[in-house]
Amino acid sequence: MNLLLDTHIAIWAVEDNPRLPQAARALLCEPAGSFFVSVASLWEIAIKHAKHGAKAMPMSAKDALGFFQASGFSIVPVSPQHVLTLESVPRHHDDPFDRLLVATALTEPYRLVTSDARLGAYGSMVSVV
């Protein structure tokens, strides 16, 4: 199964943070799973870390990229098709990073893994853990 990790799930996973939901831990232990992190998540980390420091994001985008790669997560570039799909994504959620993750999951296709219950409105391609 191809799983796109939202920003917080990916960070919590590489930190082994107790905030990582048990359901997400179980998915990350699936031997048949392939795990992806979008460049949009790195962008979100860079913006929030630069603006608010570790209070908003516990690591820089550069550190996050290293941790994601060391954990075996594949990095997915933002493609023109992801952006075009974004135009048709219903406005169940207003966060631009989350909406781009939804568009990416729809385009590839991936299952988006998130702890944000609001993203569940996008249907079966989202796993709220």
Q: Could you identify the residue written with the tokens 């082994």?
A: 16
- CB atoms under 10 Å from CB of 97, counted, come to 18
pLDDT at 54: 82
Residue 52 has pLDDT above 90, yes or no: no
Rounded to two decimals, the pTM is 0.94
Q: For 79-93, what is the mean pLDDT?
A: 95
Q: For 100-104, what is the mean pLDDT?
A: 97
Residue 76 has pLDDT above 90, yes or no: yes
Question: Whole domain around residue 115: which residue ranges?
Answer: 2-128
Q: For 64-93, what is the mean pLDDT?
A: 96
pLDDT at 63: 97
Residue 2 has pLDDT above 90, yes or no: yes
Residue 55 has pLDDT above 90, yes or no: no
> What DSSP string runs through 49-76?
HHHHGGGT-SS-HHHHHHHHHHTTPEEE
What is the domain count for the chain?
1
- Select from 27, 46, 47, 36 the least CA-distant residue to 4: 36
Residue 93 has pLDDT above 90, yes or no: no
Alpha-carbon span 67 to 46, nearest angstrom = 14
CATH of the domain at 24: 3.40.50.1010
Q: For 33-49, what is the mean pLDDT?
A: 96
pLDDT at 114: 98
